[in-house]
Amino acid sequence: MTRPKIYLFGDSITEGSFEVGGWGASLANHYCRTADVVLRGYSGYNTRWALKVLDRVFPASHGGTETAPVAAVTVFFGANDASLPDRYSGFQHVPPHEFKENLRSIVSFFKKRWPTSHVLLITPPPIDEDARLRHPYGENPQGLPERTNEAAGEYARACIAVGGECEIPVVDIWTKMQQFPDWRRDYLSDGLHLTQGGNQVVFEELIRKLRDEGLSLESMPVDLPLISDIDRDDPLNAFL
């Protein structure tokens, strides 16, 4: 068999997802005998920039088809789009209406490129504004957080709306994480990026959606025989 691919496309929360305890690493471990999880994360990127590089990140292969089927693509943007326009990260800001249009275009790109693949959106996480003041990414002369949880929520709702319009699944981590009293401490390392606990939330919610889409381990063929399927008396028969 040719292992299918699962692409992870997003910003720094995707780029860092293969760190120890990361949600991407957990996903790769989960599908270790059934699919190749391929990382395409770009720290600091918003949906406007992502649209500009789609063809370079996902070039059409010779003949217009992938050598390996693409089972799924996750699209995880919004944290940078939601930067406030009048704060020090304003150059990353994308207005909500454009963010929605960009997401629609990204989804359309993947659906045209790989018509049978499952595209899943992931909302931006919630924001701990006090932690953002303690961990700024640059000079902050205003002394104000460059992101707010209110703005992140607006972009999360926009992401959910696009998922509904496109009839594709959405992993709403903005809402899910805030269901726990200590979400700021337990799930966010600097008010934006994820702790191992936060990564685990993304992984668990994403796996649930992938199963709903038919990508459970039970439904996917295994690459080469499992040790439990090899006959002790005639091992090589398993490889005929």
The catalytic residues are 12, 190, 193
Single-letter amino acid code for the residue at 72: A
Alpha-carbon dihedral sign for residues 37, 42, 46, 49: negative
> Which structure tokens are listed for 60?
């059409």
Whether 47 contacts 103, CB under 8 Å: yes
Q: CA-CA distances (angstroms) from residue 111 to 1, 107, 115, 122?
A: 24, 6, 5, 17
The gap from C-alpha 206 to its chain's centroid, in whole angstroms, comes to 9
> Which structure tokens are listed for 53?
């590089």
Strand partners, 37: 6
Burial 77-94 (b: 16+ CB within 10 A, else e): bbbbbbbbeebbbeebbb
d(Cα 156, Cα 24) in Å, to the nearest integer? 20
Contacts 24+ apart (CB under 8 A), 143-146: 144/87, 145/87, 145/191, 146/83, 146/84, 146/87, 146/88, 146/89, 146/90
